[in-house]
Amino acid sequence: MMLNLAQNLIDALSLGSIYALTALGIGMIFSVMRLVNFAQGNYIAFCAFALLVPAGEGISRPFIGLLPGWALVPVVIALGMLLAMASEILLFRHLRGAQPATMMIASFGLGSALQNLLLMLFGSRPIAINLWPALTQPVMIGSLMVPRLQLVILAVTALALVALTLFLRRTRFGTAMRASSENFLMARMLGVPADRVILVAFGISGALAATASLLTLPQTGIADIRMGDGILLVAFVATVVGGLGSLTGAVLSAYLIGLVSVFLQIALPLAARPYRDAFVYAAVIAVLMLKPDGLFSADRRSQRI
Amino acid sequence: MSANRPLQRLAARHATSVILSLALLATVLLLTGLASPLVVRVGIGTLISVVLVVGLFIFVGNSGILSFGHLGFATVSAYATAWLTMRPAMKKMLLPGLPEFILSAQWPSFLATLASGLLAGLVALASGVFIMRLSGVAASIATLALLAIVNTVYANSDAVTGGVGSLAGIPTGLGIWTVLGWAVFAIVVAHIHATSAAGLALKSCREDPIAAEACGIRGFRVRLLAYVLSGFVCGIAGNLQARYLGVISPDSFYFGATLLALAMLIVGGMFSLTGAVAGVVAISVAMEVLIRLEGSIELFGFTVSIPAGTANFLIAAAMCVALVKRPQGLVGDREITLPASLLGKLDRHASNSKNNVGTTTVENTL
C-alpha cells in the first residue's frame, strides 16, 4: 500500500512537472505583457518534429534526432527559443497596446499556422520516434520500481526551476523582468528596455517548451502535431488558478492539478473513473469561485477587468 | 429625442438588425438563384456560423468576458437533437441507454430545435448561477473548465451519446431558408438585447464595473441574463449543425471549434453585432476559397500538388495579418445603421455618426 502510494506520488509529480514547465512558459509571457500565448503548445510539437526530416505521411527519418544527447539537447532548446522569439518579432511586437483578447486570438492564429505548417511538412499521422530508449528502463529504489525517465523529468524540472529562480533573483536582467511583471509602465519609465525584456521572456518560454517536448517524447514515443494541445489546456488553467502573474503560483498549481488528477484516478469508483477530468475541472471552478484572484496570489493589487 | 416621430425612432432603433438581415437575405436570394447546390450548401454552413457567433456575441460582446464555454452549449443541444429526431429503431441500436420516452420519440424538427435550444439555455442557467459570480479572466477560465466538463461527460457516456466517435443517423435535409430564418432570429434577439436596459447595464459593467455597481446595477444578474440568452442561441446553432451534417462527435464542438468561433468574432470586431456577422462572412469565404486550392492544380502544364494543411495555414496567417492591421477588428466597435440624413437629427445615436456608423460606448447608445 505504501509502495503504491509512493509510486502514485512519483507519477503525479512527473505529470505535474510537464504541466509546470508549460505553465511557467505561459506565465512568463503573461506577466510581462498580458498575453495568453496559445501557441505554447504548438512550440512543444514543433520542437518534437524538429528532430525529424520532413518526409510526408507518417515516415520517421531522424535528422537532429541522430545527434548524441549532449549536442541534441542544446540544439533543440535553441530552436525552441528561436521559434518563440521569432513569433514575438514577427507578430506580437506589432500588437502592442491591443486588447488582451485580440492578442490571445492572434496567438491562436499563430498556433494554428504552426500546426498546419507541420501538417504540410509531415502529414497528419503521428510519427514514431525512438528517443533515448534507455530512459524507459526502470530502476529500483529500495523495493520501489521507478522508470528512469520519471526521475529524469523530476530532476530536469527542478534544475530548470532553480536556474530560472536564480536568473530572476540574482541577475540585473532578472530584476528588470520582475519589475516589468509588477508594473510594466512604471518599469519602462525607470529605464527598463521593454522590447528586450519581452524578447527574453519569449526566449525563456521557448526553451521551456523545448524542454517539455524532450521530456514528453521518450514517454509517448510519438511525435504528433497535436501533442501540445492537452498539456496547454491544463497549463493554461494552472496559470490562472495559481494567480495570473505569479510564477510560483503557476508552478505550484500545475503540480496540484497533477496530484489531484492522479489522486482521483485512484479514489474514484470504477464507474466514475472515465469522468475524472470532469471532476478536476469542476474543482477548478470551485477554486475560482472561492479565490477569484488565484490560489497563490499574495497581494490584492491584481488587475481589475 | 422627440416623441412625435415614433416611426423614425423605431427605424433608428432597429436599423442595425434590419440592415444585417436584409444583407443576408439578399445573399441567400443570389445564391439560390445563381449558384450551384454545392455553393448553396456552403451558404448554409456559413449561416449556421452566423447563428453561433451572434449567440457568442450576445454574451462576449456586451460583457467583455471571453467565453470558451459556448460550444459546450452547442454540444448539449446537438446531442439533444439526436435524441429527439433520430429514428427510434436506430436509437435502440446506437443509444440503448436513453430512457424509454426518448427512445420512442421522434419530434418534428421545429419543436426539436426549440427544445434542444432550451435545454442548452437551461445548462447555461445552471452553470451560470455559479460562473457568472466571477468576472474577468477568472470567468473566462471557469467557462473553459465548463467546456472541458461537457466534453468529458459526453465523450464518456457511451450509452446515451455513442462516446468519443461520431454519432450518425440524424435526419438531414436542412434548407437554406430555415437557417436564414434562425440567423435573422439570432440577429434580432442580439440587437434587442444589446439595446435593452439589461444590455446597456451589462455594457456599463464592461466599461467600468465599479462605477456600474455604484449606480445600482447588479453585475451578476445582467451577466447571467446575457449568458443564458446566448447559451440558448448557441444551442440553436448546435441543433442546426447537427441537422446540417447528420453526424456529430464531442470533439467537433471542442477547443478548436471554440477558438475558431472566437476568432470570427474578434476578427470582425468583438464589441459589435455587425462585426460578428462580418467576421463570420470574411473567415468563411476565405476558408472556402483557399480549401479549393488544395489537392493538385495545373500550372504551366505541370501538375503541382499542394499538400493538405496549406489552406488552413494561409487562413491562420491571414488572420494574424488582419489582427495586426486592425487590432479592433474589421469594423471596430461600430454598428451599421441608417445614414444620419435619413433619420434627421433624431437622437445622438444617429447624429454621432457621419455615414452609417454608430458607436457602442455606453453614452452613445443610451
Probe site for chain B from A89, A276, A285, A291 (most B CB atoms < 10 A):
A285
Residue A41 resides in a domain: yes
Q: Which residues in chain B are closer than 8 Å to A113, comparing Cβ atoms?
A: 313, 316-317, 320
* pLDDT for residue B1: 47
B136–A38 CB contact, under 8 Å: no
Tens digit of pLDDT for each residue in B243-277?
Answer: 999 999 999 999 888 988 998 998 898 899 999 99
**How confident is residue A299, by pLDDT bands cut at 50, 70 and 90?**
low
Q: Locate B302 and state its grid cell.
A: 505541370
Which residue type is seen at B106? Answer: Q
Among B72, B109, B83, residue whose Cα is nearest residue B161: B83
Mean pLDDT of all residues in A40-45: 94
A116–B312 CB contact, under 8 Å: yes
Residue B241 CB partners (closer than 8 Å, separation 6+): B48, B52, B74, B78, B248
- Closest partner residue to B266 (CB to CB) among A102, A277, A303 is A102
Q: Which fold has domain B9-365?
A: ABC transporter involved in vitamin B12 uptake, BtuC (1.10.3470)
Tens digit of pLDDT for each residue in A238-274?
Answer: 888 887 778 888 899 999 998 988 888 888 888 888 8
H or E element: which one contains B336? strand B334-336
Probe site for chain B from A116, A275, A279, A302 (most B CB atoms < 10 A):
A116
Could you list the residue range(s) of the whole structural domain that residue A111 is in?
Answer: 17-227
Residues B261, B259: Cα–Cα separation, whole Å: 5
Among A112, A110, A104, A87, residue whose Cα is nearest residue A35: A104
Tens digit of pLDDT for each residue in A281-297?
Answer: 998 899 888 888 888 76
Which residues are B304's β-sheet partners?
B297
Q: Cβ(A184)–Cβ(A190) under 8 Å?
A: no
Q: What are phi and psi of A130, to 5 degrees?
A: -100, 80
Residues B128, B123: Cα–Cα separation, whole Å: 8
Residue A151 resides in a domain: yes
Judged on CB neighbours under 10 Å (0-12, 13-18, 19+), B29 is exposed
Parallel/antiparallel/unpaired status of strands B302-306 and A138-141: unpaired
Among A7, A18, A17, residue whose Cα is nearest residue A230: A18
Q: Cβ(B23)–Cβ(B172) under 8 Å?
A: no
- Closest partner residue to A113 (CB to CB) among B130, B259, B316 is B316
C-alpha distances in angstroms, A223 versus A108, A116, B327?
Answer: 21, 15, 34
B156–A229 CB contact, under 8 Å: no
A284–B145 CB contact, under 8 Å: yes
Residues B171, A76: Cα–Cα separation, whole Å: 50
Which residue type is seen at B223? Answer: R
Q: Locate A220 and state its grid cell.
A: 509517448
Q: What are phi and psi of A35, to 5 degrees?
A: -105, 125
Q: Any idea which residue has 476568432 for its cell?
A: B263
* pLDDT for residue A39: 93
Task: Using a pLDDT cut of 70, give the percent of chain B over it.
Answer: 89
Helix, strand, coil percentages, rounded to 5, for chain B: 70, 5, 25
* pLDDT for residue A85: 95
A288–B210 CB contact, under 8 Å: no
Q: With the C-alpha atoms ordered A198, A204, A207, A211, is the resulting torsion angle positive or negative?
A: negative
Residue B285 CB partners (closer than 8 Å, separation 6+): B46
The residues spanned by each domain of chain B are 9-365
Residues A251, A23: Cα–Cα separation, whole Å: 7
Residue B247 CB partners (closer than 8 Å, separation 6+): B166, B167, B168, B170
Which residue type is seen at A259? Answer: L
Residues B297, B305: Cα–Cα separation, whole Å: 6
Q: Which residues in chain A are closer than 8 Å to B262, comparing Cβ atoms?
A: 105, 108
Radius of gyration of chain B (CA): 21
B262–A124 CB contact, under 8 Å: no
B270–A99 CB contact, under 8 Å: yes
Which residue type is seen at A142? Answer: G
Q: Which residues in chain A are closer than 8 Å to B144, comparing Cβ atoms?
A: 233, 236-237
Residues in chain B, pLDDT under 70: 1-4, 295-299, 301, 303-304, 340-366
Residues A207, A205: Cα–Cα separation, whole Å: 5
CB atoms within 10 A of CB B145: 29
Q: Locate B308 and state its grid cell.
A: 493538405
Q: Locate B339 and state its grid cell.
A: 445614414
* pLDDT for residue A56: 57
Residues B361, A231: Cα–Cα separation, whole Å: 38
The answer on pLDDT for A6 being more than 90 is no
Among A157, A141, A125, residue whose Cα is nearest residue A52: A125
* pLDDT for residue B359: 39
How many folded domains does chain A comprise? 1
Residues B209, B200: Cα–Cα separation, whole Å: 13
Q: What are phi and psi of B113, to 5 degrees?
A: -60, -50
Q: Locate B235 and state its grid cell.
A: 444551442
* pLDDT for residue A302: 47
What's the 3-state SS for B135-151? CHHHHHHHHHHHHHHHH
Probe site for chain B from A37, A236, A288 (most B CB atoms < 10 A):
A288
* pLDDT for residue A297: 67
Residues B326, B279: Cα–Cα separation, whole Å: 12
The answer on pLDDT for A303 being more than 60 is no
- Closest partner residue to A108 (CB to CB) among B131, B156, B263 is B263
* pLDDT for residue A130: 75
Tens digit of pLDDT for each residue in A54-92?
Answer: 655 555 666 766 677 777 888 899 999 999 999 999 999
Residues B127, B68: Cα–Cα separation, whole Å: 13
Question: ipTM of this predicted complex?
Answer: 0.82
